[in-house]
Structure formats: structure tokens, C-alpha cells
Amino acid sequence: MQKDLREAVSQVQPPDNEYKTRLIHIFDVFSEGIFHMDAEGLLTFYNPNFYVQFGIQSPTIHLSEWYALVHPDEQALLISRVNEHVGTTAQRMLTQYRVKKTDGEYLWIEGSAVSLTENGETYIVGSHRDISDKKMMENYLKEAAFYDDSSALFNLRKLLLDLDLLVQSAPSSFSVIYIQIHELQSYLIEYGSDLLKNVITNVKLAAKIFPQDNATLYRVSLDTYAVLFRDSVPHHSLRMMCTRFILGYQDCMAQQNTLFANGMSIGIYPDCDPQLQGEEILSIAFRTCAFANEQSQSQIEVYEGNTQKKVDRYFYIESGLKNALRNRSLSVKYQPIIDTKTGKVSSFEALVRWNSKDYGHIYPDEFIPVAENKGLIVELGYQVFEKACQFISHYNVKNHASARVNVNVSVLQLLNSNFPDEMLRITLESGLTPDSIILELTETVILDEHKYALQQINRLNDLGFLLSLDDFGAGFSSIHSFFDLPFAQIKIDRYFSMKTMENHNSCQFLEFLIELCRKEHISVVIEGIENSDMLRQFHAMGASHLQGYWFAKPLSIAAAINYNPSNMMGLPASSNGRRQPLPSIS
């Protein structure tokens, strides 16, 4: 009987050499090489096709020959890691470095290896894989980290860095001017990128009024700029220069016969307090600018005297926020996210709102940082999540739908040990399953490498929640780390999506990202869709989901519960198979 069984198995299973051949073909397909290194430092390659690109013709070479191909900047690191690894057993080692190809170019690879001991002899087995695509994207983002492509000016990240450096060096004095162009975003919907180019050009021309030796102009966002003075300037001189800046800008716009997007507000924070952090300093300048726009009769306000007291009201929201949480008076609005394949609602993003009795509408950008700094963000998050779960449960029942809800999550919420279990409890008590919830996380999780937060992310994923990386493109995002985490979705920042409409390099990068996400089975949501041109372009790119004012502004519960269009795309669905939707709700 056993003999017959062995004969039957031998007829089904191919011989060992055929298994080996199949395995090598698999590694070749995925652009990976496998190797073995003995105690004498001899490297044996089991699929030479991967290594031919480095000019290696023999299946066996000495380790020193491999070191000779490694980029000089990474040789010492690799040698150190290998020597260290030889002394350990059964521990996996990952090392990224560049290897010279036959054409003289260097290819980024990742080596993964394990050191083993058998019959008293130590050897290493492992693989090499091509990671050049991921490195290309990381390098792209690094180069763009401090630079605004549209204006050739330094950006927000560079401004915050410069402010922190000034605070650390404790100079005699420095000042910040914050500038906002009125209604630019709404005008761009109608007049497009040409208007934006004119605004940028004219801002740069008008800014020549500021002394070039000690003042630097930054582009903070789509419609905001800042000027940093690195020494002491009299307050009246700052105001006078700002007045001349406004007149110069308006004159440039008038010469181009442009009578819109020529208004602006300016907030001046003179002699900044060196005890504050860079973000706090910029926040004061921003709020002073907001006060000039919303509360003042003047286009220019200086953070001093009576104006300072009025502006400070923007800061004192901690007690009001505590009361709002105690009374559960925060509200939530819902903005639909459209599936480009069906044109129907795929999800709603839950957006918290606060209408204060004393100050009126207080924006999330104001009170969310306070909630994080004062330890209120966990309770705030739970209240928003409860309302979001109740809403989407009622929405699906009323509309016979299976929509999801996207909820923003702070890193500080992840650091709360009870967070995953509490989120699961709220979900189940609302009659939902975790796969109907998409938790949006910012890139801070990746960049700061919070180990406990990363554990919490994996815990949430194990519980069945879907995870999304929010605001991609707003700062430096690590693509390599992103794909190592269990994200099911990536959301492209509104500002980046608008930049893609006018910048060819950004467009190519986004196409590359969408294609890479498709291969990784990750959904891509483009935020900030505000006109039909954006709709067509990102639909053609293969984005799986779109979100923006073109479809709907954030809606009240009453409006959102009845928002159930049959097809919001207005375009025929593509049949090229490029979209990668999220898995359906079971």
C-alpha cells in the first residue's frame, strides 16, 4: 500500500530540479535575486539573471567583489552590517544600498538575509530586490520638502524650520508678516491656473519692497504667504512696507486688467517672543491676519496693544472646548466621497464643527491643535466617531446602501491604550462592522515612527478597520514605510491635486503613484475636486475615488442623509481596469 502511494505521489510531483527551476523563475519575475554565502565569504547566486545587470557572469563570486560594486557612500555601512550579522543567528537583517550596473548607473536594492549555523559552520542565505521605484519617489519628495514648485519660493516646512532655528539661536529680534489673498480659491474655479500664475508673479514683484538682505518671502499655501525679518525693524516701518506691498501688488494686477483676487489681509507679529515654538509664532501671525480679514476695518493689523488683546480671543478656546465636550455640543458634517467606477457614494468623510456661543464658528484648524495640546483629543474623537457611526448606520438603512464613513484619527488617539477596543465597542453598538469604517491617519505616524502607534495601527487592522493615509502630498511622506503598513487607502491632498493640474512633473508623479497603488491593491482618493477639468483628468488617471466641492460641500446630517445620487461622474466608466476599489462590505 505504501509503495503504491509513493508511486502515485511521484507521478504528481515534479522532480527537485524542476522545483528549483520554478522557484528561480518566480524570483526572476519579481525582480529579486537569491544568494548563499559560506563561512569563507563565497557568494553563490541561484538565479544569475538578476545579477547579470551588475556585470556578474559567474554564479559564484567572493564577497569582496560584491563590495566593490556597492556605492562608496554605502560600502562601510554594508560591511559593518554583514560583520555584525555573521555573529548573530536566526535574525533577519534588512539593508538598503546602491549597486553599480554595467551602464555605470547605480540601482537601489534591499538585501534581506538570515544567518544560520549547521554542523558548526555559519552561513548566510537571503535575497536582493529592486527598490529603485520607491527610492525615486522618496528622493522626489525630499527635494520638494522645502520648495514650492509653482512659485520657486520656500514653503511652509522651510518657514517653520527657519523660525525654530531663530528661536534656538535667540537673536535680538525677528518679525513675521502673514499675507492672505482674498477669495483666490473661488476665483481659481472660474479662471484657472493662469490667474494663479499671475498672482504668484505679482506677489513676488511686490515683495521687492522688503529688504532682500534680511527678509525672506515664503509661500505657505495656495493663497497665503509669509515674510520673515531676521532682525529688529520698527513697527511703523513694518506697517509702511506692508502698505506699499499691497499697493504694488494691486498695481501689478491692474496692469494686467485683473480686477479680482487683488484684495488681501496682512497680520504683523513684530518682535516675536523667542520663548514660543515656530508653529506658535506663525499661529499668532496667522490669527492676526485672520483678525484683519474678519474683524477689522483695516487690511493690516499689528499684534500689539489693543489689537493684541482682541486677537488673543482666538487663542482662548480651551475652556470653551471643554464645555462643548461636556455638553456634547460639537456637530459633525459629512462630505461624500464618490466611486469613479459607479458614480455613487462610496463613503462620507466625517468633519467636526464647533459653533461657539461667544465666538461663533471656530474652525477645526484652531481647536483641534488645542484639543491635542490639552489632552482633549481622545474624548473629542470618540464623540465624533459615535455620531459618524450613528449617521452611516441610518444612511445605509434609509437608502438601502452599503456606504462607509471616513473618520480622522490623531496620533495622540492611537497612543491611548484603550483606543482600538473602544472603537470596536462603539462600532458594534451602532450595528456596524469594522470594515464599514475607514480611519484616516496623517503622515506623522510614518515620519515620527511612533512604535506604539504603529502597534495600534496593526491592532486596528486585525480588528477589521480599514486604514487610510490622509493629506498625502502636503509634506514629506515615506512611500517605502507606507507600503510596509496595512493601509487600504491613500488620500491625495487638495493642494497637491491642484498643483497636479498645472505642473507636469507633479502629474507624472501622481500617475506613477496611482499605478503603484493599483498594483498594491490600495484605493486612491483625490481631494479638492472643484471643476469638471479636475474631474476628467483624475478620472482618466485611474483614481478610484474623488472628493470635493464639485460633488458637494460638507453636508449637515439632514442634507447628507438624503444625498444618494445615481451617478455623479457624468462620464462613461472606463473599462481599462485601472481602478482599485476598496473591498465590499460583507
Q: What is the distance between the alpha carbons of residues 150 and 585, in angstroms, rounded to a whole number?
A: 41
Least confident of 128-137, 239-248, 265-274, 429-438: 128-137
* Phi and psi, residue 301, nearest 5°: -130, 145
pLDDT (0 to 100) of residue 258: 84
Helix, strand, or coil here: 89?
coil
Judged against a pLDDT cut of 90, whether residue 335 lies above it is answered with yes
- The per-residue pLDDT of the chain, averaged, comes to 87
User: Does residue 581 have a pLDDT over 60?
Assistant: no
Rounded distance, CA 465 to CA 424, Å?
9
425-429, 456-460, 504-508, range with the lowest pLDDT: 504-508
Judge contact between 569 and 338, C-beta under 8 A.
yes
Grid cell 547579470 is found at 52
Instruction: Name the range with the highest mean pLDDT among 1-10, 118-127, 319-328, 329-338.
Output: 329-338
Q: Please, which pLDDT band fits residue 190 given cuts at 50, 70 and 90?
A: confident
- Count other Cβ atoms within 10 Å, centred on residue 188: 21
Range 228-253 average pLDDT:
95
- Region of 571 please: left (phi>0), alpha (psi -120 to 50) or beta: beta
Q: Strand 60-62 vs strand 42-45: parallel, antiparallel, or unpaired? A: antiparallel
Strands (DSSP E) contained in 536-578 are: 545-547
C-alpha cell of 374?
490639552
Indicate the range of 122-126, 247-251, 477-481, 561-565 predicted with least confidence: 477-481
Cα R_g (the chain), whole angstroms = 28
CA dist 570 and 334 (Å) reads: 22
Q: How many helices (H) and strands (E) are present in the chain, helices listed first?
A: 23, 22
Indicate if the pLDDT at residue 222 is higher than 70.
Answer: yes
What mean pLDDT comes out for the span 409-430?
94
pLDDT of residue 291: 86
Per-residue pLDDT band for 423 (boundaries 50, 70, 90) equals very high
Residue 393 reports pLDDT greater than 60? yes
Whether 28 shows a pLDDT value over 70: the answer reads no
Quote the pLDDT of residue 572: 45
Rounded CA-CA distance 282/292 in Å is 15
Residue 303 cell numbers, joined: 499684534
**Predicted local distance difference test score (pLDDT) of residue 357:** 82
- Residue 164 pLDDT: 92
Identify whether the C-beta of residue 472 lies closer than 8 Å to the C-beta of residue 444: no
Confidence of residue 578 (pLDDT cuts 50, 70, 90): very low
User: Quick one: average pLDDT of 539-550?
Assistant: 94
Average pLDDT over residues 160-178: 88
State the pLDDT at residue 6. 43
In the prediction, which pLDDT does 541 show?
93
Give CA–CA dist 412/417, Å, rounded: 10
Closest C-alpha among 508, 437, 497, 449 to residue 471? 497
Work out the angle at residue 89's Cα, subtended by the Cα atoms of residues 88 and 92, and round it to the nearest 5 degrees: 90
Question: Is the confidence at residue 521, as pLDDT, over 80?
Answer: yes
Q: Are 331 and 316 in contact (CB under 8 A)?
A: no
What pLDDT does residue 171 have? Answer: 62
pLDDT at site 478: 55
The pTM of the full predicted model, rounded to 2 decimals, is 0.53
| Segments in 295-418 forming alpha helices (H) | 305-312, 318-327, 364-373, 377-399, 411-414
Model pLDDT, residue 8: 40
Reference 347, options 264, 406, 273; nearest CA is 406
> Mean per-residue pLDDT for 442-462?
81
Torsion-angle region of 245 (φ positive above 0: left; ψ -120 to 50: alpha; else: beta): alpha
Alpha helices (runs of H) in 430-580, residue ranges in sequence order: 444-447, 451-463, 479-484, 494-500, 504-519, 532-541, 557-561
CA–CA gap between residue 70 and residue 99 (Å, rounded): 4
End-to-end CA distance of the chain: 46
The pLDDT-based confidence of 472 (bands split at 50, 70, 90) is confident
Confidence of residue 88 (pLDDT cuts 50, 70, 90): confident
Q: Which long-range contacts (CB under 8 A, 24 or more apart) does 349-353 make?
A: 349/405, 349/406, 349/407, 349/408, 349/440, 349/547, 349/554, 350/384, 350/385, 350/387, 350/388, 350/391, 350/405, 350/406, 350/407, 350/408, 351/554, 352/380, 352/384, 353/554
User: What is the enclosing helix (H) or strand (E) of 552?
Assistant: none
How far apart are the C-alpha atoms of 545 and 526, rounded to whole Å? 6
pLDDT digits over 101-129, tens only? 999 999 999 999 998 888 888 889 999 99
Host H or E run for residue 220: none
Q: Of 22-31, 205-214, 267-276, where does mean pLDDT reach its minimum?
A: 22-31
Write down the pLDDT at residue 149. 82
Q: What is the pLDDT at residue 202?
A: 96
The pLDDT tens digits for 29-54 are 556 888 999 988 999 998 888 899 99
Whether the pLDDT of residue 412 is over 80: the answer is: yes
Q: Which residue has the cell 470594515?
A: 435
Could you tell me which of 282, 173, 271 has the C-alpha nearest to residue 225? 282
Q: Calculate mean pLDDT across residues 492-502.
A: 90
